[in-house]
Structure 1
Amino acid sequence: MTVISERIDRCRICAIRHQAVCGALSDHEIQALSAVARQRVLKAGDVIQNAEDEVSSFANIVSGVVKLSKVLSDGRQQIVGLQFPPDFLGRAYRTRSPFYAEAATDVELCVFPKRSFEALMADQPELESRLFQNTLDELDAARDWMLLLGRKSAAEKVASFLALIARRKAPALCEHMPADTLLTITLPLTRAEIADYLGLTIETVSRQIGNLRAADILETGANRTITVLDYDGLAEAAQL
Protein backbone atom coordinates (compact mmCIF):
# COMPACT_ATOMS: atom_id res chain seq x y z
CA MET A 1 0.00 0.00 0.00
CA THR A 2 1.39 3.42 -0.97
CA VAL A 3 1.62 6.38 1.39
CA ILE A 4 -1.13 8.20 -0.55
CA SER A 5 -3.51 5.22 -0.45
CA GLU A 6 -2.89 4.93 3.31
CA ARG A 7 -3.82 8.60 3.70
CA ILE A 8 -7.00 8.13 1.64
CA ASP A 9 -8.01 5.13 3.76
CA ARG A 10 -7.37 7.17 6.90
CA CYS A 11 -9.68 9.89 5.58
CA ARG A 12 -12.42 7.35 4.82
CA ILE A 13 -12.51 6.07 8.40
CA CYS A 14 -11.77 9.40 10.11
CA ALA A 15 -14.12 9.93 13.06
CA ILE A 16 -14.59 13.64 12.30
CA ARG A 17 -14.71 13.58 8.50
CA HIS A 18 -18.40 14.46 8.14
CA GLN A 19 -18.35 17.07 10.91
CA ALA A 20 -15.11 18.81 9.94
CA VAL A 21 -14.68 21.32 7.11
CA CYS A 22 -13.65 18.51 4.76
CA GLY A 23 -17.17 17.10 5.13
CA ALA A 24 -18.12 19.57 2.38
CA LEU A 25 -15.91 17.71 -0.12
CA SER A 26 -16.75 14.84 -2.45
CA ASP A 27 -14.80 11.57 -2.32
CA HIS A 28 -12.72 12.73 -5.29
CA GLU A 29 -11.91 16.04 -3.60
CA ILE A 30 -11.09 14.24 -0.35
CA GLN A 31 -8.53 12.21 -2.29
CA ALA A 32 -6.90 15.42 -3.54
CA LEU A 33 -6.77 16.86 -0.03
CA SER A 34 -5.55 13.64 1.58
CA ALA A 35 -2.63 13.54 -0.85
CA VAL A 36 -1.15 16.62 0.84
CA ALA A 37 -2.45 16.04 4.40
CA ARG A 38 -0.32 14.65 7.21
CA GLN A 39 -1.03 13.55 10.76
CA ARG A 40 0.61 15.34 13.67
CA VAL A 41 0.48 13.97 17.22
CA LEU A 42 1.35 16.20 20.17
CA LYS A 43 1.65 15.72 23.90
CA ALA A 44 -0.10 17.96 26.42
CA GLY A 45 1.93 21.16 26.75
CA ASP A 46 3.46 21.00 23.27
CA VAL A 47 3.41 24.29 21.37
CA ILE A 48 1.50 24.09 18.09
CA GLN A 49 2.07 27.65 16.94
CA ASN A 50 3.41 30.86 18.45
CA ALA A 51 1.63 34.18 18.06
CA GLU A 52 2.86 36.08 15.01
CA ASP A 53 4.42 32.96 13.49
CA GLU A 54 4.11 32.85 9.73
CA VAL A 55 1.12 30.67 8.82
CA SER A 56 2.23 27.73 6.68
CA SER A 57 -0.55 25.24 7.41
CA PHE A 58 -4.03 24.69 8.83
CA ALA A 59 -5.42 21.68 10.68
CA ASN A 60 -8.53 19.79 11.71
CA ILE A 61 -8.49 18.74 15.36
CA VAL A 62 -9.05 14.97 15.27
CA SER A 63 -8.77 14.35 19.02
CA GLY A 64 -7.84 16.26 22.14
CA VAL A 65 -8.21 19.92 23.11
CA VAL A 66 -6.18 22.93 21.92
CA LYS A 67 -5.72 26.01 24.09
CA LEU A 68 -5.55 29.43 22.41
CA SER A 69 -3.87 32.32 24.23
CA LYS A 70 -2.89 35.93 23.67
CA VAL A 71 0.39 37.16 25.12
CA LEU A 72 0.93 40.78 26.15
CA SER A 73 4.20 42.61 25.56
CA ASP A 74 5.17 42.22 29.23
CA GLY A 75 4.75 38.43 29.07
CA ARG A 76 1.33 38.13 30.70
CA GLN A 77 -0.86 35.54 29.03
CA GLN A 78 -4.64 35.14 28.77
CA ILE A 79 -6.48 32.03 27.60
CA VAL A 80 -8.95 33.27 24.99
CA GLY A 81 -10.40 30.04 23.67
CA LEU A 82 -10.49 26.26 23.57
CA GLN A 83 -10.85 24.18 20.43
CA PHE A 84 -12.17 20.63 20.25
CA PRO A 85 -12.77 18.01 17.54
CA PRO A 86 -13.78 18.70 14.78
CA ASP A 87 -12.74 22.39 14.99
CA PHE A 88 -10.55 23.96 12.32
CA LEU A 89 -7.29 25.38 13.63
CA GLY A 90 -6.00 28.39 11.72
CA ARG A 91 -7.19 31.44 9.80
CA ALA A 92 -7.43 31.16 6.04
CA TYR A 93 -5.78 33.99 4.09
CA ARG A 94 -3.92 35.24 7.16
CA THR A 95 -0.16 35.49 6.81
CA ARG A 96 0.58 35.37 10.56
CA SER A 97 -0.98 33.55 13.48
CA PRO A 98 -3.10 35.78 15.76
CA PHE A 99 -2.86 33.34 18.69
CA TYR A 100 -0.48 31.20 20.67
CA ALA A 101 -1.78 27.63 20.28
CA GLU A 102 -0.83 24.86 22.71
CA ALA A 103 -1.99 21.29 23.21
CA ALA A 104 -4.06 21.38 26.42
CA THR A 105 -4.27 17.57 26.29
CA ASP A 106 -2.68 14.99 24.03
CA VAL A 107 -3.80 16.07 20.56
CA GLU A 108 -4.02 14.58 17.08
CA LEU A 109 -4.18 16.97 14.14
CA CYS A 110 -4.78 16.48 10.43
CA VAL A 111 -2.56 19.15 8.88
CA PHE A 112 -2.93 20.74 5.43
CA PRO A 113 -0.39 23.02 3.72
CA LYS A 114 -1.76 26.57 3.54
CA ARG A 115 -1.22 27.02 -0.18
CA SER A 116 -2.84 23.70 -1.13
CA PHE A 117 -5.84 24.26 1.15
CA GLU A 118 -6.47 27.81 -0.06
CA ALA A 119 -6.23 26.65 -3.69
CA LEU A 120 -8.83 23.97 -2.97
CA MET A 121 -11.06 26.59 -1.35
CA ALA A 122 -10.86 28.71 -4.49
CA ASP A 123 -12.02 25.73 -6.58
CA GLN A 124 -14.67 24.43 -4.17
CA PRO A 125 -17.26 26.99 -2.97
CA GLU A 126 -18.75 24.36 -0.64
CA LEU A 127 -15.50 24.18 1.31
CA GLU A 128 -15.30 27.96 1.61
CA SER A 129 -18.95 28.05 2.71
CA ARG A 130 -18.33 25.41 5.41
CA LEU A 131 -15.33 27.33 6.71
CA PHE A 132 -17.37 30.56 6.72
CA GLN A 133 -20.09 28.84 8.75
CA ASN A 134 -17.46 27.63 11.23
CA THR A 135 -16.20 31.20 11.56
CA LEU A 136 -19.73 32.45 12.31
CA ASP A 137 -20.15 29.70 14.93
CA GLU A 138 -16.91 30.85 16.58
CA LEU A 139 -18.19 34.43 16.57
CA ASP A 140 -21.42 33.34 18.28
CA ALA A 141 -19.40 31.42 20.87
CA ALA A 142 -17.21 34.48 21.50
CA ARG A 143 -20.32 36.61 22.10
CA ASP A 144 -21.67 34.04 24.55
CA TRP A 145 -18.32 34.13 26.35
CA MET A 146 -18.49 37.94 26.56
CA LEU A 147 -21.86 37.52 28.31
CA LEU A 148 -20.35 34.99 30.70
CA LEU A 149 -17.39 37.20 31.62
CA GLY A 150 -19.43 40.38 31.87
CA ARG A 151 -22.65 39.34 33.58
CA LYS A 152 -22.55 35.85 35.08
CA SER A 153 -21.81 35.12 38.73
CA ALA A 154 -18.87 32.95 39.81
CA ALA A 155 -21.20 29.97 40.26
CA GLU A 156 -22.68 30.46 36.79
CA LYS A 157 -19.23 30.87 35.21
CA VAL A 158 -17.90 27.58 36.62
CA ALA A 159 -21.10 25.70 35.74
CA SER A 160 -21.00 27.18 32.21
CA PHE A 161 -17.41 26.01 31.72
CA LEU A 162 -18.20 22.48 32.88
CA ALA A 163 -21.33 22.37 30.71
CA LEU A 164 -19.24 23.49 27.72
CA ILE A 165 -16.78 20.62 28.21
CA ALA A 166 -19.65 18.13 28.64
CA ARG A 167 -21.44 19.33 25.49
CA ARG A 168 -18.30 19.16 23.38
CA LYS A 169 -17.57 15.63 24.61
CA ALA A 170 -21.09 14.26 24.11
CA PRO A 171 -23.43 16.79 22.43
CA ALA A 172 -26.21 14.32 21.62
CA LEU A 173 -26.14 12.82 25.11
CA CYS A 174 -26.36 16.23 26.76
CA GLU A 175 -29.30 17.14 24.52
CA HIS A 176 -31.36 14.13 25.60
CA MET A 177 -29.69 12.72 28.70
CA PRO A 178 -31.65 9.93 30.46
CA ALA A 179 -32.02 10.46 34.20
CA ASP A 180 -29.87 7.43 35.09
CA THR A 181 -27.04 8.23 32.64
CA LEU A 182 -23.63 9.38 33.88
CA LEU A 183 -21.12 11.33 31.80
CA THR A 184 -17.46 11.33 32.82
CA ILE A 185 -15.25 14.07 31.40
CA THR A 186 -11.59 14.94 31.83
CA LEU A 187 -11.02 18.65 32.27
CA PRO A 188 -8.49 19.94 29.71
CA LEU A 189 -7.29 22.71 32.03
CA THR A 190 -5.89 22.81 35.54
CA ARG A 191 -7.92 24.68 38.15
CA ALA A 192 -5.42 27.55 37.89
CA GLU A 193 -6.01 27.70 34.12
CA ILE A 194 -9.79 27.50 34.60
CA ALA A 195 -9.55 30.42 37.02
CA ASP A 196 -7.54 32.40 34.46
CA TYR A 197 -10.01 31.56 31.70
CA LEU A 198 -13.02 32.60 33.79
CA GLY A 199 -11.48 35.62 35.51
CA LEU A 200 -11.74 34.03 38.96
CA THR A 201 -9.37 32.87 41.70
CA ILE A 202 -8.37 29.23 42.13
CA GLU A 203 -10.11 29.20 45.52
CA THR A 204 -13.37 30.41 43.97
CA VAL A 205 -13.24 27.76 41.25
CA SER A 206 -12.63 25.02 43.82
CA ARG A 207 -15.42 26.32 46.05
CA GLN A 208 -17.95 26.42 43.21
CA ILE A 209 -17.05 22.90 42.08
CA GLY A 210 -17.52 21.82 45.70
CA ASN A 211 -20.97 23.45 45.74
CA LEU A 212 -21.98 21.55 42.59
CA ARG A 213 -20.74 18.34 44.18
CA ALA A 214 -22.75 19.05 47.34
CA ALA A 215 -25.84 19.60 45.18
CA ASP A 216 -25.38 16.11 43.65
CA ILE A 217 -24.88 17.62 40.20
CA LEU A 218 -21.42 16.12 39.75
CA GLU A 219 -18.71 14.03 41.36
CA THR A 220 -14.98 14.73 41.21
CA GLY A 221 -12.33 12.09 40.65
CA ALA A 222 -8.59 11.73 40.20
CA ASN A 223 -6.60 13.21 37.31
CA ARG A 224 -9.04 16.09 36.68
CA THR A 225 -12.00 13.81 35.96
CA ILE A 226 -15.55 14.89 36.71
CA THR A 227 -18.68 12.76 36.44
CA VAL A 228 -21.81 14.71 35.57
CA LEU A 229 -24.73 13.19 37.50
CA ASP A 230 -27.37 15.72 36.46
CA TYR A 231 -26.70 17.63 33.23
CA ASP A 232 -30.02 19.48 33.40
CA GLY A 233 -29.08 20.66 36.88
CA LEU A 234 -25.68 21.77 35.60
CA ALA A 235 -27.27 23.68 32.71
CA GLU A 236 -29.70 25.34 35.13
CA ALA A 237 -26.82 26.37 37.40
CA ALA A 238 -25.10 27.85 34.34
CA GLN A 239 -28.23 29.78 33.28
CA LEU A 240 -28.08 28.16 29.83
Structure 2
Amino acid sequence: MTQHHCADCSVRKLSLCGTLDDREIADLRAIGRRQQFRKGEAVAWAGDERMVCGNVLSGALKLSASTGDGREQTVGTLYPSDFVGRPFERGEHFTVTALSDSELCVFPQRPFEDLLERHAKMERQLLRQTFAALDDARKQMLTLARRSATEKVAGFLLDMAAREGGKAARATANGPLTFDLPLNRGQIADLLGLTIETVSRQLTKLKADGIVALPGVRAVTIRDEARLRARAG
Protein backbone atom coordinates (compact mmCIF):
# COMPACT_ATOMS: atom_id res chain seq x y z
CA MET A 1 0.00 0.00 0.00
CA THR A 2 1.40 3.40 -0.91
CA GLN A 3 0.76 6.95 0.23
CA HIS A 4 -2.01 8.84 -1.53
CA HIS A 5 -1.08 11.61 -4.00
CA CYS A 6 -3.94 13.56 -5.57
CA ALA A 7 -1.83 15.83 -7.76
CA ASP A 8 -0.84 13.07 -10.18
CA CYS A 9 -4.19 11.24 -10.17
CA SER A 10 -5.17 10.60 -13.80
CA VAL A 11 -8.88 10.07 -13.04
CA ARG A 12 -9.43 12.86 -10.51
CA LYS A 13 -11.67 14.94 -12.77
CA LEU A 14 -13.81 11.94 -13.73
CA SER A 15 -14.11 10.26 -10.34
CA LEU A 16 -15.80 11.05 -7.04
CA CYS A 17 -13.18 13.78 -6.45
CA GLY A 18 -14.10 15.70 -9.60
CA THR A 19 -16.40 18.28 -7.98
CA LEU A 20 -14.67 18.63 -4.60
CA ASP A 21 -12.97 21.78 -3.33
CA ASP A 22 -9.50 21.88 -1.76
CA ARG A 23 -10.79 21.34 1.79
CA GLU A 24 -12.86 18.33 0.80
CA ILE A 25 -9.96 16.87 -1.19
CA ALA A 26 -7.69 17.34 1.84
CA ASP A 27 -10.15 15.51 4.11
CA LEU A 28 -10.46 12.66 1.62
CA ARG A 29 -6.69 12.49 1.11
CA ALA A 30 -6.20 12.19 4.87
CA ILE A 31 -7.93 8.80 4.94
CA GLY A 32 -7.07 7.54 1.43
CA ARG A 33 -4.29 5.21 0.38
CA ARG A 34 -3.29 3.85 -3.00
CA GLN A 35 -3.30 0.07 -3.12
CA GLN A 36 -2.15 -2.18 -5.94
CA PHE A 37 -3.74 -5.50 -6.83
CA ARG A 38 -2.19 -8.13 -9.06
CA LYS A 39 -4.15 -9.73 -11.88
CA GLY A 40 -6.43 -12.40 -10.40
CA GLU A 41 -6.19 -11.04 -6.85
CA ALA A 42 -9.44 -10.59 -4.94
CA VAL A 43 -10.19 -7.04 -3.85
CA ALA A 44 -13.19 -8.21 -1.80
CA TRP A 45 -15.16 -11.40 -1.29
CA ALA A 46 -18.95 -11.73 -1.34
CA GLY A 47 -20.24 -11.90 2.22
CA ASP A 48 -17.24 -10.16 3.77
CA GLU A 49 -18.17 -7.83 6.61
CA ARG A 50 -15.15 -5.59 5.93
CA MET A 51 -15.96 -3.68 2.79
CA VAL A 52 -13.68 -1.87 0.38
CA CYS A 53 -14.58 1.65 -0.72
CA GLY A 54 -12.55 3.53 -3.28
CA ASN A 55 -11.89 4.81 -6.77
CA VAL A 56 -10.40 2.67 -9.53
CA LEU A 57 -7.26 4.47 -10.74
CA SER A 58 -6.01 1.98 -13.32
CA GLY A 59 -6.72 -1.51 -14.60
CA ALA A 60 -10.04 -3.33 -14.64
CA LEU A 61 -12.07 -5.26 -12.07
CA LYS A 62 -14.92 -7.71 -12.35
CA LEU A 63 -17.93 -8.21 -10.11
CA SER A 64 -19.01 -11.83 -9.84
CA ALA A 65 -21.51 -13.98 -7.98
CA SER A 66 -21.87 -17.72 -7.43
CA THR A 67 -24.83 -19.41 -9.13
CA GLY A 68 -26.92 -22.18 -7.61
CA ASP A 69 -24.90 -24.84 -9.42
CA GLY A 70 -21.60 -23.46 -8.13
CA ARG A 71 -20.52 -21.57 -11.25
CA GLU A 72 -19.04 -18.10 -11.17
CA GLN A 73 -21.17 -15.56 -13.02
CA THR A 74 -19.64 -12.25 -14.11
CA VAL A 75 -22.25 -9.56 -13.43
CA GLY A 76 -20.31 -6.38 -14.15
CA THR A 77 -16.99 -4.69 -14.72
CA LEU A 78 -15.29 -1.62 -13.28
CA TYR A 79 -12.79 0.67 -14.98
CA PRO A 80 -10.71 3.77 -14.10
CA SER A 81 -12.81 6.48 -12.36
CA ASP A 82 -15.49 3.95 -11.33
CA PHE A 83 -16.28 3.64 -7.62
CA VAL A 84 -15.92 0.35 -5.74
CA GLY A 85 -18.02 -0.47 -2.69
CA ARG A 86 -21.34 0.38 -1.08
CA PRO A 87 -21.09 2.89 1.78
CA PHE A 88 -23.54 2.38 4.67
CA GLU A 89 -23.86 -1.33 3.82
CA ARG A 90 -22.51 -4.08 6.07
CA GLY A 91 -21.28 -6.87 3.85
CA GLU A 92 -20.14 -7.26 0.25
CA HIS A 93 -22.77 -8.39 -2.27
CA PHE A 94 -20.31 -9.52 -4.95
CA THR A 95 -16.75 -10.78 -5.19
CA VAL A 96 -14.50 -8.13 -6.72
CA THR A 97 -11.44 -9.41 -8.58
CA ALA A 98 -8.67 -7.65 -10.51
CA LEU A 99 -8.86 -8.60 -14.20
CA SER A 100 -5.47 -6.98 -14.79
CA ASP A 101 -2.84 -5.39 -12.57
CA SER A 102 -4.87 -2.58 -11.02
CA GLU A 103 -4.51 0.32 -8.63
CA LEU A 104 -7.23 1.68 -6.36
CA CYS A 105 -7.49 4.68 -4.09
CA VAL A 106 -9.07 2.99 -1.06
CA PHE A 107 -10.81 4.51 1.97
CA PRO A 108 -11.66 2.80 5.27
CA GLN A 109 -15.43 2.38 5.24
CA ARG A 110 -16.40 4.03 8.55
CA PRO A 111 -14.19 7.16 8.14
CA PHE A 112 -15.41 7.45 4.54
CA GLU A 113 -19.04 7.31 5.69
CA ASP A 114 -18.29 10.03 8.25
CA LEU A 115 -16.87 12.21 5.46
CA LEU A 116 -19.99 11.72 3.35
CA GLU A 117 -22.16 12.82 6.26
CA ARG A 118 -20.04 15.95 6.78
CA HIS A 119 -19.67 16.90 3.12
CA ALA A 120 -23.01 17.07 1.30
CA LYS A 121 -21.32 17.81 -2.04
CA MET A 122 -19.28 14.61 -1.84
CA GLU A 123 -22.37 12.58 -0.94
CA ARG A 124 -24.33 14.08 -3.86
CA GLN A 125 -21.48 13.34 -6.29
CA LEU A 126 -21.35 9.71 -5.18
CA LEU A 127 -25.13 9.50 -5.53
CA ARG A 128 -24.90 10.91 -9.08
CA GLN A 129 -22.25 8.35 -9.98
CA THR A 130 -24.37 5.57 -8.50
CA PHE A 131 -27.42 6.62 -10.50
CA ALA A 132 -25.30 6.89 -13.67
CA ALA A 133 -23.95 3.37 -13.13
CA LEU A 134 -27.49 2.11 -12.53
CA ASP A 135 -28.71 3.78 -15.73
CA ASP A 136 -25.82 2.21 -17.67
CA ALA A 137 -26.68 -1.22 -16.26
CA ARG A 138 -30.34 -0.82 -17.22
CA LYS A 139 -29.43 0.33 -20.72
CA GLN A 140 -27.11 -2.65 -21.09
CA MET A 141 -29.85 -5.05 -19.98
CA LEU A 142 -32.28 -3.53 -22.49
CA THR A 143 -29.69 -3.54 -25.25
CA LEU A 144 -28.63 -7.12 -24.63
CA ALA A 145 -32.24 -8.30 -24.61
CA ARG A 146 -32.85 -6.83 -28.07
CA ARG A 147 -29.53 -7.40 -29.82
CA SER A 148 -28.39 -10.33 -31.89
CA ALA A 149 -25.14 -12.15 -31.05
CA THR A 150 -23.34 -10.19 -33.79
CA GLU A 151 -24.58 -6.87 -32.43
CA LYS A 152 -23.64 -7.80 -28.86
CA VAL A 153 -20.05 -8.73 -29.69
CA ALA A 154 -19.52 -5.77 -32.02
CA GLY A 155 -20.96 -3.37 -29.44
CA PHE A 156 -18.79 -4.88 -26.72
CA LEU A 157 -15.62 -4.34 -28.77
CA LEU A 158 -16.55 -0.71 -29.41
CA ASP A 159 -17.25 -0.15 -25.73
CA MET A 160 -13.93 -1.70 -24.72
CA ALA A 161 -12.05 0.40 -27.28
CA ALA A 162 -13.66 3.55 -25.89
CA ARG A 163 -12.85 2.57 -22.29
CA GLU A 164 -9.23 1.74 -23.06
CA GLY A 165 -8.78 5.34 -24.19
CA GLY A 166 -5.15 6.40 -24.04
CA LYS A 167 -3.87 2.85 -23.64
CA ALA A 168 -5.13 1.89 -27.10
CA ALA A 169 -2.56 2.31 -29.86
CA ARG A 170 -2.70 3.53 -33.48
CA ALA A 171 0.22 3.31 -35.88
CA THR A 172 -1.09 6.49 -37.54
CA ALA A 173 -3.63 9.12 -36.48
CA ASN A 174 -6.45 7.46 -38.41
CA GLY A 175 -5.04 3.94 -38.56
CA PRO A 176 -6.31 0.70 -37.01
CA LEU A 177 -6.84 0.76 -33.23
CA THR A 178 -5.22 -1.98 -31.14
CA PHE A 179 -5.99 -2.73 -27.49
CA ASP A 180 -6.14 -5.64 -25.02
CA LEU A 181 -9.46 -6.98 -23.78
CA PRO A 182 -9.67 -7.08 -19.96
CA LEU A 183 -11.91 -10.17 -20.10
CA ASN A 184 -11.32 -13.65 -21.50
CA ARG A 185 -13.89 -15.17 -23.84
CA GLY A 186 -15.68 -17.02 -21.06
CA GLN A 187 -16.12 -13.80 -19.09
CA ILE A 188 -17.28 -11.96 -22.21
CA ALA A 189 -19.84 -14.71 -22.80
CA ASP A 190 -21.14 -14.36 -19.23
CA LEU A 191 -21.41 -10.59 -19.55
CA LEU A 192 -23.22 -10.72 -22.91
CA GLY A 193 -25.47 -13.68 -22.15
CA LEU A 194 -23.88 -15.85 -24.84
CA THR A 195 -21.90 -19.10 -24.95
CA ILE A 196 -18.12 -19.15 -25.35
CA GLU A 197 -18.59 -20.85 -28.71
CA THR A 198 -20.87 -18.07 -29.94
CA VAL A 199 -18.43 -15.36 -28.85
CA SER A 200 -15.56 -17.16 -30.59
CA ARG A 201 -17.65 -17.65 -33.74
CA GLN A 202 -18.58 -13.96 -33.89
CA LEU A 203 -14.98 -12.83 -33.39
CA THR A 204 -13.82 -15.22 -36.09
CA LYS A 205 -16.47 -13.88 -38.48
CA LEU A 206 -15.46 -10.26 -37.79
CA LYS A 207 -11.86 -11.26 -38.48
CA ALA A 208 -12.76 -13.12 -41.69
CA ASP A 209 -14.68 -10.07 -42.91
CA GLY A 210 -11.64 -7.85 -42.38
CA ILE A 211 -13.33 -5.72 -39.71
CA VAL A 212 -11.00 -6.74 -36.88
CA ALA A 213 -7.72 -8.57 -36.45
CA LEU A 214 -6.88 -10.79 -33.48
CA PRO A 215 -3.09 -10.54 -33.09
CA GLY A 216 -2.95 -12.11 -29.60
CA VAL A 217 -4.93 -14.06 -27.02
CA ARG A 218 -6.72 -10.91 -25.83
CA ALA A 219 -5.41 -8.36 -28.31
CA VAL A 220 -7.89 -6.85 -30.77
CA THR A 221 -7.25 -4.51 -33.68
CA ILE A 222 -10.24 -2.62 -35.06
CA ARG A 223 -9.43 -2.28 -38.75
CA ASP A 224 -12.73 -0.81 -39.93
CA GLU A 225 -14.55 1.09 -37.17
CA ALA A 226 -17.40 2.21 -39.44
CA ARG A 227 -18.26 -1.36 -40.41
CA LEU A 228 -17.95 -2.51 -36.81
CA ARG A 229 -20.42 0.22 -35.76
CA ALA A 230 -22.77 -0.95 -38.50
CA ARG A 231 -22.56 -4.52 -37.16
CA ALA A 232 -23.33 -3.21 -33.66
CA GLY A 233 -26.60 -1.78 -34.93
Per the normalisation by structure 2, the TM-score is: 0.90
The alpha-carbon deviation at position 73 of structure 1 amounts to 4.4
Matches within 5 A, 1:1-240: 7=4, 10-170=5-165, 180-239=174-233
CA contact (8 A) 2:52 2:84 kept: no
Structure 2 residue runs without a partner (length 5+): none
Q: Which amino acid aligns with 1:198?
A: L
How much identity, in percent, do the aligned residues show?
Answer: 42
In structure 1, distance between residues paired with 2:122 and 2:43: 24
The alpha-carbon deviation at position 98 of structure 1 amounts to 1.1
Root-mean-square deviation (Å):
2.1
Structure 1 residue runs without a partner (length 5+): none
In structure 2, distance between residues paired with 1:125 and 1:183: 41
CA contact (8 A) 2:55 2:81 kept: yes
In structure 1, distance between residues paired with 2:72 and 2:217: 24
Q: Which amino acid aligns with 1:166?
A: A
SS at match of 1:70: strand
In structure 2, distance between residues paired with 1:57 and 1:208: 37
The alpha-carbon deviation at position 179 of structure 1 amounts to 8.3
In structure 2, distance between residues paired with 1:230 and 1:87: 29
| Residues 56, 146 of structure 1: alpha-carbon distance in 2 compared, 3 angstrom cutoff | closer
In structure 2, distance between residues paired with 1:58 and 1:36: 11
| Residues 222, 146 of structure 1: alpha-carbon distance in 2 compared, 3 angstrom cutoff | same
| Residues 179, 41 of structure 1: alpha-carbon distance in 2 compared, 3 angstrom cutoff | closer
Q: Deviations over 1:40-63 (max 9, x none)?
A: 111111111111111443010000
Q: How many residues align?
A: 228
Q: Which amino acid aligns with 2:106?
A: V
Per the normalisation by structure 1, the TM-score is: 0.87
Q: Which amino acid aligns with 2:187?
A: E
